[in-house]
């Protein structure tokens, strides 16, 4: 199988082209990510997932997806059930914490069931960001609530549901995207909030759930910590906050390095994220020339990053004793949809 490299790539369409197949074989990424553009139906997607893994000769290679529910869902009706946005569970939790927790657990378990049937083994969930008034709507209802303790309670249930369903969770966007006044897909957000306030609100959700096996960075500048660089490319934020104060020692991946929040050539962005302390760099858009640039910088996955990757994958279990029909009926009842 040989040494894999510190990258996760997307692909262009619903099946691999010869150039992609050859590139992935040579580049040997740690993992892959699929998007709506890669999805036609369950059989096609299952085949694509198998094709991706075959290029690196590893049938348990990580294949990621953003299947949150609400606005962010790559798997959609008619082939897959629409899932509620996170905020819906926060509202339920306000009425009954117990009902909220159970609903989030069942929902995550059901998402994991859908993903397992396709061979997808990583979901970029839960969103642990804490939104505030006046922030950009990019997070909005993707967050469970505005109250960190509710987010922690429901985030924990989502992590458990995914893991018990055979899928690895990725908490995002560490150390917190909730205050960002711009959408980092389009521009680089700056947050001027002081370090103590960030610590008490934005960072606390991640600190409380720092056992999550994987996390994704925020392309956000925290002026109080590093006025020059967003978290993704800031050695100071990763060392002092993510690894230090938050105490996260799992696998840290960058958010997508092709997003407009970052500037400069793709190779420079990738190099900066890895130098700052990301274990792997994520590149999503499937553009071959950009992926080649990332591959120039994505050195072999070894040392502490390899250990973190292995520790994350060790959380993968074969799910058992789950009845999806009963779980769906109970979830509908909890949400008042029955």
* Domains: count for the chain: 1
Domain-embedded: residue 40 = no
In a domain, 174, yes or no: yes
Q: Which of 212, 219, 306 is nearest to 257 (CA)?
A: 219
145 with 129: CB under 8 angstroms?
Answer: no
Contact 150, 144 (CB under 8 A): yes
Per-residue pLDDT, averaged over 235-260, amounts to 97
- Residue ranges in the chain assigned as alpha helix (H): 18-27, 42-56, 86-95, 97-118, 148-164, 195-200, 202-208, 235-236, 266-276, 288-297, 303-313, 324-335
Q: Flag whether 37 is in a domain.
A: no
For the cut 90, the answer to whether the pLDDT of residue 134 exceeds it is no
Cα–Cα distance between 295 and 288 in angstroms, integer?
10
Token code pair at residue 190: 């700056």
Kindly indicate the confidence band of residue 2, based on its pLDDT and cuts at 50, 70 and 90.
low
pLDDT in tens, 219-242: 999 999 999 999 999 999 999 999
Asked if 283 and 9 touch (Cβ cutoff 8 Å), the reply is yes
Average pLDDT, integer, range 135-155: 93
What's the CATH code of the domain at 268?
Answer: 3.20.20.300
The count of residues in the chain is 338
Decide if pLDDT at 186 tops 90: no
Residue 212 lies in a domain: yes
pLDDT digits (tens, 9 = 90+) for 24-78: 999 999 999 999 999 999 999 999 999 999 999 999 999 999 999 999 999 999 9
**pLDDT at 1 > cutoff 60:** no
Residues designated catalytic: 185, 255
In the predicted model, what is the mean pLDDT of residues 153-182?
Answer: 96
Decide if 38 is inside a domain: no
Q: Assess if residue 44 is contained within a domain.
A: no
Percentage of the chain surpassing pLDDT 90? Answer: 92
| Burial (CB count <10 Å: 0-12, 13-18, 19+), residue 267 | middle
Is residue 116 predicted with pLDDT exceeding 60?
yes
Residue at 317 is within a domain: yes
Residue 200 belongs to a domain: yes
Query: What per-residue confidence (pLDDT) applies to 260?
Result: 86
Average pLDDT over residues 258-272: 93
| pTM, full prediction | 0.97
Residue range of the domain that includes 12: 5-30+50-335
Nearest to 104 by CA among 120, 121, 127: 127
């Amino acid at each position: 199988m040989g040494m894999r490299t510190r990258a996760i790539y997307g692909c262009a369409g619903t099946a691999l082209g010869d150039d992609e197949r050859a590139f992935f074989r040579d580049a040997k990424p740690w993992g892959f990510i699929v998007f709506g553009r890669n999805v036609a139906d369950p059989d096609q997607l299952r085949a694509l997932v198998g094709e991706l893994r075959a290029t690196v000769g590893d049938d348990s290679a990580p294949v990621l997806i953003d299947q949150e529910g609400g606005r962010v869902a790559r798997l959609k009706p008619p082939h897959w059930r629409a899932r509620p946005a996170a905020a819906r569970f926060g509202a339920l939790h306000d009425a009954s914490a117990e009902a909220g927790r159970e609903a989030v657990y069942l929902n995550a378990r059901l998402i994991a069931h859908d993903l397992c049937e396709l061979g997808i083994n990583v979901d970029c969930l839960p969103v642990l960001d804490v939104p505030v008034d006046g922030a950009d709507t990019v997070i909005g209802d993707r967050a469970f609530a505005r109250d960190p303790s509710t987010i922690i309670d429901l985030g924990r249930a989502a992590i458990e549901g995914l893991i018990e369903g055979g899928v690895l969770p990725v908490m995002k966007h560490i150390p917190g995207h909730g205050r960002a006044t711009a959408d980092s897909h389009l521009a680089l957000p700056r947050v001027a909030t002081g370090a103590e306030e960030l610590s008490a609100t934005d960072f606390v959700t991640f600190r409380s759930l720092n056992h999550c096996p994987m996390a994704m960075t925020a392309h956000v500048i925290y002026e109080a910590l590093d006025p020059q660089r967003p978290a993704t490319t800031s050695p100071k934020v990763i060392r002092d906050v993510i690894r230090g104060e938050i105490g996260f020692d799992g696998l840290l991946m960058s958010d997508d390095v092709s997003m407009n929040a970052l500037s400069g050539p793709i190779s420079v962005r990738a190099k900066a994220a890895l130098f700052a302390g990301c274990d792997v760099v994520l590149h999503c858009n499937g553009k071959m020339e950009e992926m080649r640039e990332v591959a120039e910088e994505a050195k072999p996955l070894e040392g502490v990053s390899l250990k973190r990757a292995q520790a994350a994958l060790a959380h993968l279990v074969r799910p058992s004793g789950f009845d999806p029909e009963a779980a769906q009926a109970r979830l509908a009842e909890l949400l008042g949809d029955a």
